[in-house]
Amino acid sequence: MPIAQNFTSVFSKDWEINFTQCTPNGYLKYTDLCNILQLTAGDHAEVGGISFTDMQEFNQAWVMSRMRLEIESLPKWRDIVTVKTWIVSLENSRSVRALELWVGNKKLIGCETFWAVFNTKIRRPEALALPHEHFEKFPERFSTLERVKKVDLYEDMKNVNNRKVVLSDLDIVNHVNNVKYLEWCLDLLDYKTILKQKISTIDMNFMKELILNDEVSIKSFKNENSSTYAILKDEKTCFALEVQYK
């Protein structure tokens, strides 16, 4: 699609939190938070001419490699939230995008995401085939205090669950949607940690894709201040998560 007339390099969109997106305490689920952030990033790519539809002409798609969330508090049912986003860097097959979630004039959440351009036929990264010079880049404007990072795993992690990938786990790229990995792991946390909003930061690394009928194990390591999870297929790590607590 052509670049929209209302395109701007810093994009903003309002969302109303509905009850299906909330936990029993009335606050937004962490998984739905990630969905809202990614949908906003997708809308910005759409108006800027580098959306999934545009990229599919070259058998390309954006896939997330890393994501960091810094959470002061969560919005609640019926809140109108504003998500702001901009590109920090975009070079060859890699891009860093910043996002912020606001309620009124208060910033609740900062997020940094690291994306790769993925060829959906050969299933490998490659340079973006579409022009992107019209996007101003903001290499010194960050949305988080710390940048996306590699999640360090522990040798003595314990197996806590096993899963088989089903159809409802898949997205339009025909692999497990990245929010599903987070959901699988958060379901293993003490529910009080989530309902009492004890989570301050979430770091995610996406290393290998999973497809229908893949069988995986989930391992964890917990201490007083954080929990670390790994999702493995054939003993090779596909996803790593670190959750830190307030």
Radius of gyration of the chain from its Cα atoms, rounded to whole angstroms? 18
Topology at the third CATH level for domain 150-246: Thiol Ester Dehydrase; Chain A (3.10.129)
Q: The pTM is what?
A: 0.95
Separation of alpha carbons 127 and 203, rounded Å: 25
Average predicted confidence (pLDDT) for the chain: 96
Q: What is the DSSP letter of 136?
A: P
Contacts of residue 45, Cβ cutoff 8 Å, sequence gap at least 6 = 51, 52, 54, 62
The CATH T-level fold of domain 1-146 is Thiol Ester Dehydrase; Chain A (3.10.129)
The domains of the chain are located at 1-146, 150-246
Q: What pLDDT score does 2 carry?
A: 82
Tens digits of residue pLDDT in 52-77: 999 999 999 988 999 999 999 999 99
Whole-angstrom Cα distance, residue 35 to residue 28? 11
Cβ–Cβ under 8 Å, residues 240 and 151: yes
For 75, 119, 210, 231, the CA distances from 180, given in Å and listed in that order, are: 21, 21, 11, 11
Token readout for 174 is 């025909």
Confidence of residue 1 (pLDDT cuts 50, 70, 90): low
pLDDT of amino acid 173: 84
Residues 107-123 pLDDT 10s: 999 999 999 998 989 98
Same CATH fold, 150-246 and 1-146? yes
Whether the Cβ atoms of residue 120 and residue 126 lie closer than 8 Å to each other: no
Sequential DSSP letters for 34-54: HHHHHHHHHHHHHHTT-SHHH
Distance from C-alpha of 213 to C-alpha of 199, rounded to nearest angstrom: 31
Q: What is the 3-state secondary structure (H, E, C) of 145-210?
A: CCCCCCCCCCCCCEEEEEEECCHHHECCCCCECHHHHHHHHHCCCCHHHHHCCCEEEEEEEECCCC
Q: Is 20 exposed, middle or buried (0-12, 13-18, 19+ CB in 10 A)?
A: exposed
